[in-house]
Amino acid sequence: MKKPFTAIVIIILLLSIPFIKIEGRAQKRIVLLKDTPSYEIEGLEIVGKSKNGYIALYSGNQTLPIPHTTLRTVRDEVKGYHTYETLTAQLKEYEENYPDLLTLQSIGKTLEGRDIWAVRIGKEQNKRILFIGCHHAREWMSVEIPLKLIDYLLTNYKRDERVKRWVDSIEIWVIPMLNPDGHTYSVKVDRMWRKNRRDNGDGTFGVDNNRNYGYMWGLSGSSGNTSSETYRGPYPFSELENQAIRNLAYKHPFNLVVSYHSFSELILYPWGYTKNPPPDEEIFERIAEDMAKTTGPPNDNDYPGPYDYYPMQSSYLYTTSGDSDDWFYGDMGTLSFTIELNSFEDFFDPPPEKIEPTWEQTKGIAFTALDYTGINGLLKLHIERENGELYNGDVYIEEKGIRRKTQKEGLFMYFLLPGTYTINVRGVKKKITIKKGEVTEETMIVSSKVNLNINVYSENNKIPLSFTAKLENKEIEGFSGGTFENLEPDKYTLEVYSQGFYPFKKSIDLKSDKSMDIILKPKKLFASKFDFPDFEKITKDKNLKDYQYVLTDRFPSTRMVNFVIFNKNPDSMTVNYFGIRDLRESKGDISGLDGSFKDKTFTLSDGSSFVSKEKPIFTFEDGTFASVEKNRNIYFSFNPSDVGETYEFFKILESYLYENLKTLEIEYPEYTNKESIDIKIGFLRNGYIKINDKFYYTKDGSTSIKLTGLNAGENKILVEGFVNDKKVDSKEIDIVVDKLPPEIIAKEEQYLNGKRFLIFKVREENLKDVSVSMGEIKGVVSENKLLKTYYVKLNPIKDGNYYVKITAEDMAGNKNEKIILVHYDTTPPKIEYIHPKDGEKVNEKEITITGRITEDAFVYINGQPVKVVDKKFEFPVTLSTGLNLFKIKILDLSMNTSIYYLNIVYEGKRIILKIGDTTAWIGSNVYKLEFPPFIKEGRTFVPLRFIVEGLGGKVEWYGEEKKIVVKFEDTTLTLWIGKREALLNNETVCIDPENENIYPIILNGRTFIPLRFVAESLGFSVEWEGDTKTIIIYRDD
């Protein structure tokens, strides 16, 4: 999911948990801040954001000087976790016990001399996967899970077909501890140490190994500050640990990589350096979601959606550059994932008791990765020139729109999903088909013709120059640089010319592509950034004389010169009046005199005129400039009778301005959806602007520059200003290129009722505006910033179906629209009929409440959801004797609600008979008997089958034995025709101890039984009403 969920809901940390203090180790506290501090606090590291504030580590000895809540002290338990030494011993034990399955090898040494152990399980295969633990020292759990995986694969190889299939078909590599130096320091000294142990030479230590990979190294999301927790190192792959990974990957290219970290229960995939989606976004989303489906228990669901571990693009958590996922995918196309283990509650230091539950919760992620290994195939391309030299340069994959570099001279390796691709190397194209899980090895021959690129600079500070260059019979002109293309390898004479500089001439031997920096020596210094009039052309305009523009002989004893400084830009004309003291006595001691001439018209010697404004270009106060206008041509008029001293003053003034006029004015869009844009830069006249190693001349004090080749995502551009070969100012600007419109996530149909909100999400980091309209009705949009969810209240005049348009625009000008259907319904749903009816009496304990509703809706009976099909519902219930009350809640799709109450009376099991009468009742149901009950020797006899089955029992008849077996619930009663004895649950009982003639009989072909004995044996009561000769058999459930 490109534009995955950004704001993540996180549970609050628990209160303090007991810890074991280890002698000499730095103790740190976990604190909760309401807001991030506006200034740096020594010992404070912000590590995450929860729904209650910001989570931070604090190691200071003083009281934290901002509002906070201390949650607990960092745990220090080592017991149960592996140290480097116990890990090494464990891996060697595996090697000894499983020699046919496991190979242990060191892939490199650390600065402190420790081996970086890698395990290979299985044999060499075309399909490979790599699991990495412990980029960051303090993340101990990231060591244990890869180690658990090794153990699981080894111990289950012979008893689990799935494991056997993996090991037999995939080359499985595991590096449990990539950063053993940092991990050891974390164990012995500082539990929260993150980086490795490089000595940075300035009193700080450590590089973040997960910011030191080469792809997009040095961008946002990493730091150039050596003391930072995310210090990226002095250059890409500066660290031995990262070099070991690169060397392993180039030797054994991996289809898929999983890197374990902690904490926050996330499954991350590229990109980290930009919010633009990766080219293979769809497969990343699919794998990450399948990984997420396997997580749990404990199923704590800290995030929206059904999964414990939330799948998302890495940059939507925060931007990173130089991490392992981006390098593996960016450099070689490897499908790469980061797993952030454990919850915010566990922080970086879950107790060792969490190791086994964490493995059980996340092992499915590793299993899913193994299942997907080989979904892609490896392109292995050998590239040579026609002359036999190995090619080293760019390879373009046209269908993917990506340009990548060869990993080694003459070799390009890249993983692609199955398909046919056009590979373009310097204009030579080849169609290549990639197959799933296979290595496709091809050779390409490219032209032996070579290019010569030249960059022409001045001797001082390498200011670029306009030039003409000749190479035998070819000639090019350019500014800063140019290229001679498609040359035959040979010896040539190169000549370079630039006005005002001595020419360059050299013989060169071109065998391959070559780039040269040409340094030219100046014949004279560059012109000043100011225009000074020639001494003989001093202005003597009478209109200006009254304002002391030129004073020839005034104050001769003090040799003071008065002059005017003005600006020829008519939008900001200013005039000020100054005095200059004796420069021999006090160089540059300048005192300003009052004399602002607002709204005065001045005519210059060239015939032009201007109106003075109130604000001066600059003023002098005690020899310094109080303020300076930017990008202006400044002219001086001075007393020609004292040219020497005045000119010396100009040199002092000019030198001061060189040092202090350092203002670049840059007009640029912060966001754009184009790869090239125009920016306008104001600077000193006759200066140079340097951008991305290219120079531009600002002859008139400003220039427009077209920036091309902007990359998708954030572009940091350094703008530097030079005057006379000296850099006087620099500014860094950020331009974000975003061609993707905001993604609007909304259900295609939504149901509203006047109280409910229309709900949708917009995935876009740099969102400018969101609007919702329903015809002419404009919705009022409110946002939950944490969930990135929008809520809109829409109230049409009447119920019905309406189409609603959602529009979202980002800061780059990309727009997206989505039309959804809204069902507006304010009418509550109703019940058309229901059975049993309200107040009805029933005699069955188990019944089904059935009904029909007027529209599609949800039905709940006593809080339990009821399945509804075609607006009909059924709900089986077990009744209690007496009144049973049911609350029926109906909730339609617009969330309109109706409540009904249903009263059902259950009378319990009840049979009524009368002596000599064939009418009988079971509950409220009337039945006709073949033969009525009768009295024999003072005992009532009733029809056996009617009574037993009416009570809910079963009757079995065994004719040969004249045996009757009655079964009811847990009771079994056995009777015989003509016998006084019976078996009640296998115990012999007498039917009527007082009368030996009482026993079951057959009358008119029907079995009659003594009522009271049978009924009471089955747990029922019998009542006799003598007046009406009525018998009532019942049981209260």
Catalytic residue IDs: 340
Helix extents (H) in 768-852:
none
Whether the CA torsion 951, 957, 962, 966 is positive or negative: it is negative
The answer to whether 486 and 474 are in contact (CB under 8 A) is no
Beta bridge partners of 330: none
Q: Which of 760, 764, 776 is nearest to 820 (CA)?
A: 760
Q: Which of 479, 474, 470 is nearest to 504 (CA)?
A: 470
Q: Which of 740, 737, 738, 720 is nearest to 729 (CA)?
A: 720
Task: Classify 415 as helix, strand or coil.
Answer: strand
Q: Angle at Cα 741 formed by Cα 737 and Cα 743, nearest 5°?
A: 130
The answer to whether 489 and 510 are in contact (CB under 8 A) is yes
Helix extents (H) in 512-565:
542-545
The answer to whether 691 and 664 are in contact (CB under 8 A) is no
Whether the CA torsion 379, 382, 385, 390 is positive or negative: it is positive
Beta sheet of 504-510, edge-to-edge order:
474-479, 466-471, 490-497, 504-510
DSSP string, 602-644: EE-TTS-EEE-BSS-SEEEETTEEEEE-SS--EEE---GGGHH
Q: How many alpha carbons lie under 13 Å from residue 836 in its C-beta half-sphere?
A: 22
| b/e burial code for range 462-496 (CB count within 10 A of at least 16 → b) | bbbbebbbbbeeeebebebbbebeebeeeebebeb
Please state, in angstroms and rounded to a whole number, the distance separating the CA atoms of residues 876 and 982: 38
Cis, bond preceding 263 (omega within 30 deg of 0): yes
Please state, in angstroms and rounded to a whole number, the distance separating the CA atoms of residues 407 and 970: 80
Within its chain, how far is the Cα of 649 from the centroid?
Answer: 61
Question: Hey, how many other C-beta atoms are within 10 angstroms of the C-beta on 546?
Answer: 7
Please state, in angstroms and rounded to a whole number, the distance separating the CA atoms of residues 196 and 178: 10
Task: Classify 428 as helix, strand or coil.
Answer: strand
Helix (H) or strand (E) holding 146: helix 141-155
Give me the phi and psi of 241, to 5 degrees please: -65, -45
Please state, in angstroms and rounded to a whole number, the distance separating the CA atoms of residues 431 and 433: 7
Q: Which of 430, 452, 428, 446 is nearest to 386 (CA)?
A: 446
One-letter-per-residue 3-state SS of 665-729? EEECCCEECCCCEEEEEECCCCEEEEECCEEEEECCCEEEEEECCCCCEEEEEEEEEEECCEEEE
Token pair belonging to 139: 């993340």
Please state, in angstroms and rounded to a whole number, the distance separating the CA atoms of residues 172 and 845: 62
Please state, in angstroms and rounded to a whole number, the distance separating the CA atoms of residues 1015 and 930: 20
Token pair belonging to 381: 């391309």
Task: Classify 1020 as helix, strand or coil.
Answer: coil
Task: Classify 182 as helix, strand or coil.
Answer: helix
Helix (H) or strand (E) holding 370: helix 355-372
